Amino acid sequence: MRHHLLLRVITKLLVGPILIFALYVQFHGEYSPGGGFQAGAIFAVAFILFGIVFGLDKVQEVFPPWLVHKLSAVGVLLYAGTGVYSLMLNSTYLNYSSFSPSNPISGQHWGIILVELGVGITVASVMVAIYYAFAARPPVINDEEW
Amino acid sequence: MDSAAILPGLSIIDQLPLLAVVLPMLAAPLCVLFGNRHIAWLLAFLASLFSFLFSFHMLLQVMDGDVLSYHLGGWAPPMGIEYRIDAANAFVLMLISGISTVILPYARRSIAYEITKVSHTLFYCCYLLCLTGLLGVVATGDAFNVFVFLEISALSTYVLVAMGAERDRRALTAAYDYLIMGTIGATFFVIGIGFLYSVTGTLNMVDMAERISTLEDNRTVQAGFAFIVVGMGLKAAIYPLHLWLPGSYTYAPSVVTAFLAATATKAAIYVLIRFMFSVFQPEFIFELHTFKWILMPLAILAMFAASLIAVFQTDLKRLLAYSSVAQVGYMILGISLASKTGLSAAIIHLFNHGITKAVLFMVVGAFLMRVGGSFTKYLNGLGKQMPITCAAFVVGGLSLIGVPGTAGFISKWVLIDAALQKDLWWLAVLIVLSSLLAVIYVWKVVEVLYMKQPDETRVLKEVPYSMLVPMWVLAIACIYFGFDTDLTLRSATVAAESLLSGGIK
Amino acid sequence: MTLDFILGHLNYWLFIILMMIGFYIVVARGNYIKKIVGLNIFQAAVFMFYISLSKVEGGTAPIFPIDMNIDPQVVYSNPLPHVLILTAIVVGIATTSLGLALIVRIREEYGTIEEDEILEIESKLQSDENSTEGASMGGRA
């Protein structure tokens, strides 16, 4: 898409706001609409858009496939680890209140933020991984034949 | 919330229901993170082993009819998600985690032969996710949670089946067929749950059971029941819904086949039992009709038709796959008798068939590794060249037939007993007759292994000990549970009692 | 069957029609991608069913005001089915992408994604196997 100047300029303008919007959705998810899944999907959109317009190589320079794979595991670990941490505090799995027994509400906040962060990381990296997996396949129809 | 509710001060014993499920789930991302196949194997094995130990401990705890209840996130049921362990699920949990623990040492060498090294880490990751899903399905007491775990295990299963594509490209279409049918099954299940939720307004199984007990004539409950039975029937491969099974079992890597054959359909059958006997009341007219007019004929059809198809197979793996469909028929038959003995026959056969099929498929994997194929032509005279492996096949085969002194005998015995208790003597005759079909297909393989002239030109040695030992652990278990029925029969009876006495309560 | 009955259960009619369309596509279409499309429609119908269950007449979105002062006069819709369906949507996405990935691999191996052509290739494979390895009942019996 080298010759599509308009697309390239607009993509460059959009990628930043998309990422910021994703972070906004992520960190407001605990008590308003939003949360890890939506934020992760929006976050991944920025990379996928960039990849579609500038090519797979360019986006993989920014977000290499090995990092995508590791991050998808890190997100799940963050989620599960939050639960394990509450186990270590002698409480039930994912019982966020145990994080700060003196102030359960703040414990709930911490717990849900951590869990949503884990979800967000995993969703974003899995979405990007799915895009990479399909885009990296050699095309059966080449560009001229379209 | 008072501080006691926030910090109940749980000991490790109280955490067991959760740890058994969460350990494999924790190990799966760790496998990816380390990215080393040896570490991945070790993690998988340790997670599976501890899961097994925890499940076994829980089984001992609930053996006298107790129930362990674990509230996730500290939210008490019926609002929160609850893991509820009684004798029925502890028994199935032990089967699944036990089989997985025995299969993993075997997996190491077997997948080294069947799958390229690069994919090994991901293989263990998917395997662990599949294990998590199956354990979760069984442990949870929340109806929607069942669906989520079911799909976790199913999605990883599709990947595992497709990994067989390195040996035969038909693994891909088999995995695709499985994906389509599995998803339809799971979606049917969700529709059923949705119907029940719309009537009862709850997702907790105990709560649901209480509210359904007064709703026999409610059309929505009946429709929900139908959707759940068909959906789970697809997952459990009840006879006409079994079409995904032979392909997936034939083309999946041997380890995957052994694991799935022993656990995946079993978890689905457990869910079926749980819903039929604890959530719905088995006395409901529509349910009795289902037992009598749908499940029992289909079970008998499965016992004969699938066994008959198995007789004509030349691929050992496909033969055993069809035999699995037939064996599911016995479990469904036990369920359809709707009595305590029938139910315990289904549960005990679930266990005995699990270990038996695991042995047989592991032996097939060993053959595959040494002679490169599972067609009977390759197996000529292997009895002389790989005597220890072939002996394990004979033990498994005898248990599959149900010869006295093996585990398979016990389950058939209890099943016939259940049929006779209902004065269905013709059913007992049919059970024996269908076992004769099993004699034919097992004998066919034994004949090839021992009577045919071996191919002298090829030099074969036994498979490595890491494969022989797990195989024989299960083979000995087949014999052991044929003599010492204390554990299996007692847990199956307690499980059947707890399921029938108003279920999960 | 009064008009009231038909209109009053509109969401169920739509659910049934959509579900049947999806299911029909899965069963009747031979193209693997179209099957996945059908599967998605089928699942979407179920999602709609759950969401329509949760609607309370006159109810608003179940979001608490930021100061957490809840007005008892306000009726909220039931949020639980939304949460369940969010999970089911995630499962659906995973299934779809896995299905598509399998289709890509099938296309690479078989050169086609039409079911009848693949069945033809497979039955040929099967008959080749049968002629070399001995007869069997074969295929997807």
Which pLDDT belongs to residue B382? 86
Secondary structure letter of residue B252 according to DSSP: S
CB B389 within 8 Å of CB B366: yes
The span from the CA of B435 to the CA of C2, in Å, is 56
Supply A57's token pair. 């190589």
DSSP state of B294: I
- Pairwise CB contact (< 8 Å): A134 & C90: no
Pairing of strands B82-85, B68-71: antiparallel
Cβ of B7 within 8 Å of Cβ of A90? The answer is yes
Rounded CA separation A66/B489 (Å): 50
Grouping H, G, I as helix, E, B as strand and the rest as coil, residue A124 is helix
Q: Which of B149, B153, B170 to mutate to test the interface with C (most CBs of C within 10 A)?
A: B170
Could C86 and A33 be called an inter-chain contact, meaning their C-beta atoms sit closer than 8 Å?
no
Residue A145 lies inside a defined structural domain of this protein: no
- In the prediction, which pLDDT does B231 show? 95
A15-57 per-position pLDDT tens digit: 999 999 999 999 887 777 778 889 999 999 999 999 999 989 9
Contacts of C129 in chain B (CB under 8 A): 315, 375
**Overall residue count recorded for chain C in this entry:** 141
Q: Residue B168, SS3?
A: coil
Q: Which of A83, A92, A98 sits opposite B71 (nearest CB)?
A: A92
Is the pLDDT at B504 greater than 90? The verdict is: no
Chains contacting C with at least 3 CB pairs below 8 Å?
Answer: A, B
Q: Measured between alpha carbons, how far is B66 from B86 in angstroms, rounded to an integer?
A: 7
Q: Do A69 and B1 touch (CB under 8 A)?
A: no
Residue A77 contacts residue B26 (beta carbons within 8 Å): yes
Determine, for residues A92 and B10 on separate chains, whether the beta-carbon distance falls below 8 Å. Answer: yes
Q: How far is CA B103 from the centre of its chain?
A: 14
Tell me the mean pLDDT in the region C127-132: 78
Task: Tell which wins on pLDDT, B377 or A42.
Answer: A42
**Among B163, B314, B367, B440, the residue to mutate for chain C (most C Cβ within 10 A):** B314
> What pLDDT was estimated at residue B14?
84
Q: How confident is the model over B334-338, as a mean pLDDT?
A: 91
Question: Domains in chain C, start-ordered, CATH in brackets?
Answer: 10-55+75-132 (1.10.287.3510)
Q: What is the pLDDT of residue A123?
A: 94
Is the Cβ of A140 closer than 8 Å to some Cβ of chain C? yes
Q: Which amino acid is at C136?
A: S
Domain count, chain A: 1
Q: How many contacts does A have with B, using Cβ atoms within 8 A?
A: 73
Residue identified by tokens 């032969």 is B113
Residue B125 pLDDT class (50, 70, 90 cuts) = very high
- Report the pLDDT value the prediction gives residue B503, as an integer from 0 to 100: 42
Partner A, chain B 22-41, Cβ-Cβ below 8 Å: 22, 25-26, 28-33, 35
Burial of B105 (0-12, 13-18, 19+ CB in 10 A): middle
Is A41 part of the contact surface with chain C (CB cutoff 8 Å)? no
Residue A103 lies in a domain: yes
Q: Is the dihedral of CA B490, B493, B496, B501 positive or negative?
A: negative
Q: Say if residue B181's pLDDT is above 80.
A: yes
* pLDDT per position as a tens digit, B138-163: 999 999 999 999 999 999 999 999 99
Share of chain C above pLDDT 90, in %: 50
CB contact under 8 A, C106 and B162: no
Q: Is the pLDDT of residue B383 over 90?
A: no
Residue C128, by phi and psi: left (phi above 0), alpha (psi -120 to 50) or beta?
A: alpha
**CA distance linking residue B90 with residue B68, whole number of Å:** 10
User: What is the pLDDT at residue B505?
Assistant: 36
Q: Does the pLDDT of residue B93 top 70, yes or no?
A: yes
pLDDT at A3 over 80: no
To the nearest whole Å, the CA of B9 is away from the closest chain A CA by 5
pTM: 0.94
**For a pLDDT cut of 90, what percent of chain B falls above it?**
69
| Option in A69, A94, A97 nearest B1 (CB) | A97
Q: Chain A residues with CB inside 8 Å of B25's CB?
A: 76, 80
- Cβ distance A96 to B73 less than 8 Å, yes or no, reads yes
Q: Calculate how close chain C gets to B314, using CA atoms only, in Å.
A: 5
Q: Nearest residue of A to residue B122 by CA position?
A: A69
Q: Do B180 and C39 touch (CB under 8 A)?
A: yes
Task: Output the CA torsion sign for B229, B235, B237, B240.
Answer: positive
User: Concatenated DSSP letters for B383-431?
Assistant: HHHSHHHHHHHHHHHHHHHT-TTSHHHHHHHHHHHHHHHTT-HHHHHHH
Is C86:A37 a contact under the CB 8 Å cutoff? yes
Q: What gap in Å lies between CA C19 and CA C46, rounded to an integer?
A: 7
Q: Which of B179, B246, B376 is nearest residue C95 as measured by Cβ atoms?
A: B179
Looking at the partner chain, which of B158, B175, B194 has a beta carbon nearest the beta carbon of C50? Answer: B194
Chain C residue at shortest CA distance from B306: C141
- For B158, the enclosing helix (H) or strand (E) is helix B143-162
The closest CB to that of C104, out of A31, A37, A137, belongs to A137
Q: Mean pLDDT over residues C55-76, rounded?
A: 80
Give the pLDDT of residue C139. 41
pLDDT the model gives residue B4: 43
Distance from CA of B72 to the nearest CA of A (A): 6
Window B:40-79, CB contacts with A under 8 Å: 70-74
Residue A146 — very low, low, confident or very high, per pLDDT cuts 50/70/90?
low
pLDDT at position B8, please? 56
- C91 contacts B176? CB cut-off 8 A: no
> Do A97 and A81 form a contact (C-beta atoms < 8 A)?
no
Q: Check A90 against B9: CB less than 8 A apart.
A: yes
Among A25-29, B258-262, B430-434, C43-47, where is mean pLDDT lowest?
A25-29
Please, which pLDDT band fits residue C128 given cuts at 50, 70 and 90? Answer: confident
> Is A105 a domain residue?
yes
End-to-end CA distance of chain A: 14
**C window 12-51, beta carbon within 8 A of B:** 19, 23, 26, 32, 35, 39, 42-43, 46, 49-50
Task: Tally Cβ neighbours within 10 Å of residue B304.
Answer: 16
Banded pLDDT at A2 (limits 50, 70, 90): low
Kindly report which listed range (A5-9, A136-140, B62-66, B447-451) carries the lowest average pLDDT score. A136-140
Whether B194 and C53 lie within 8 Å, measured CB to CB: yes
CB B488 within 8 A of CB B339: no
Tell whether the model's pLDDT for residue A9 goes beyond 80.
yes
In this prediction, residue C135 carries a pLDDT of 52
Which of C5, C98, C112, C130 should be substituted to probe chain B, the one whose Cβ sees the most B Cβ atoms within 10 Å?
C98
Q: H helices within B201-253, ranges in order?
A: 205-212, 219-236, 244-251
**What gap in Å lies between CA C78 and CA B230, rounded to an integer?**
28
- pLDDT at residue B183, as a whole number: 95
Q: Note the pLDDT of residue C60.
A: 83
Burial of B283: CB neighbours in 10 Å, binned 0-12, 13-18, 19+ = exposed
Contact with chain B for residue A65, Cβ under 8 A: no
- Alpha-carbon Rg for chain B, nearest whole angstrom, is 22
- How far apart CA C128 and CA C137 sit, in angstroms, is 13
- CB < 8 Å to A96, chain B: 73
HSE-CB at B297 with a 13 A cutoff on CA atoms is 6
For C89, nearest residue in chain A (alpha carbons): A37
pLDDT at B22 over 90: yes
Residue B252 in this model has a pLDDT that exceeds 60: yes
Those of residues 7-36 in A touching chain C at CB distance below 8 A are 31-33
CA B410/CA B398 separation, integer angstroms: 12
How confident is residue B1, by pLDDT bands cut at 50, 70 and 90?
very low
Q: Is C131 on the interface with B (CB under 8 A)?
A: no
Higher pLDDT, B416 or A32: B416
Q: Which helix (H) or strand (E) holds B84?
A: strand B82-85
Q: Determine the residue of chain B that is closest to C89 in CA distance.
A: B148
Residue A30 lies in a domain: yes
Does the pLDDT at position B371 exceed 90? no
C66/A contact by beta carbon, under 8 A: yes
Residue A146 belongs to some domain of the structure:
no
- CB contacts < 8 A, B to C, total 100
pLDDT, tens only, C66-116: 777 777 888 888 889 988 999 999 999 999 999 999 999 999 899 899 999
The answer to the question of residue A80 being in a domain is: yes
Angle between the B37-62 and B120-139 helix axes, to the nearest 10 degrees? 10
Alpha-carbon distance of B269 to A42, in angstroms, equals 39
- The boundaries of the domain holding residue A34 are 5-138
Q: How many CA atoms lie within 13 A of B265 on its CB side?
A: 38
pLDDT for the residue C138: 43
For residue B71, what are the β-bridge partners?
Answer: B82
The per-residue pLDDT of chain A, averaged, comes to 89
CB neighbours (10 Å) of residue A134? 12
